[in-house]
Amino acid sequence: MITGIIVALPEELSTLTSKKIDKGSSVFISDAIVLAYSGAGANNAQAASELLIAQGATRLISWGCAAALSEALKPGDLVLADNLIGSDNAQIVLHSAWHSNTKNLLSSTLKVHTGSLVESNTIVATTQDKKHLYAQTGAIALDMETVAIAKVARQNNLPFLAIRAIADPVSMDLPKAINHSLNNGGDIVLSKLLLYIARHPTELPGLIKLGLHFNAAKITLKLIASQLSNVTAQPSQG
């Protein structure tokens, strides 16, 4: 059995491997685990999922960071979603032996939050927008890729798991520098980021704070990565 893992960002990729992977490409990090660096967004996530299935993946994991919608979630908290809500409000329920066994496994070292994760087609930057989305959906977290990956898994009748660590809490408005620095592929362009900071130095404290939050999420992901062989050894069905 081969497990395919999709990650959107290079920082998330670094929690799983030190190997260099081009965006849109994949690499086997063990005989039974193949990893794809998709880039941000649903379309990239879908393409990466299909690539991994073509390479023999028989189940899929959405791996990386998420934004909190519930005030109960703090940076670094783990969300093991058991329900997904698409941007079209369609829902995918994730009840499987793999999910329950992984929750039990990870609960020995981490507090595991379950609940709904909602899809967003854009970055949700403000506290107000996060609270509004929480009121609308009841979802505790959001990201841009998980639902797309889950849809590919469902279409191919494959088991699926979403493992996401919180990077930004409800109480934090993302620095405006983030949106200003994105390219069309959803990647942050360092030169644009530095230029924006030079012109708007008051953005720097917020970026530092976000960096600390993101680091907390990476620590959680690295801890889970140290148990990845046990996660992927769990049975999928039943």
Q: What is the DSSP letter of 121?
A: S
Homologous superfamily (CATH) of 3-233 is Nucleoside phosphorylase domain (3.40.50.1580)
Backbone angles phi, psi at 162, to 5 degrees: -115, 120
Burial of 90 (0-12, 13-18, 19+ CB in 10 A): exposed
Spans of all domains in the chain: 3-233
As a whole number of angstroms, the distance between CA 152 and CA 68 comes to: 24
pLDDT digits (tens, 9 = 90+) for 46-92: 999 999 999 999 999 999 999 999 999 999 999 999 999 999 999 99
| Predicted confidence band of residue 192 (pLDDT cuts 50, 70, 90) | confident
**Residue 172 per-residue DSSP state:** -
The DSSP 8-state label assigned to residue 109 in this structure reads T
Residue 89: both structure tokens together: 């409000």
Higher local confidence (pLDDT), 48 or 96: 48
Query: What is the identity of the amino acid at 58?
Result: T
Q: Are 44 and 186 in contact (CB under 8 A)?
A: yes
Which pTM does this prediction carry? 0.89
- As a whole number of Å, the CA-based R_g of the chain is 17
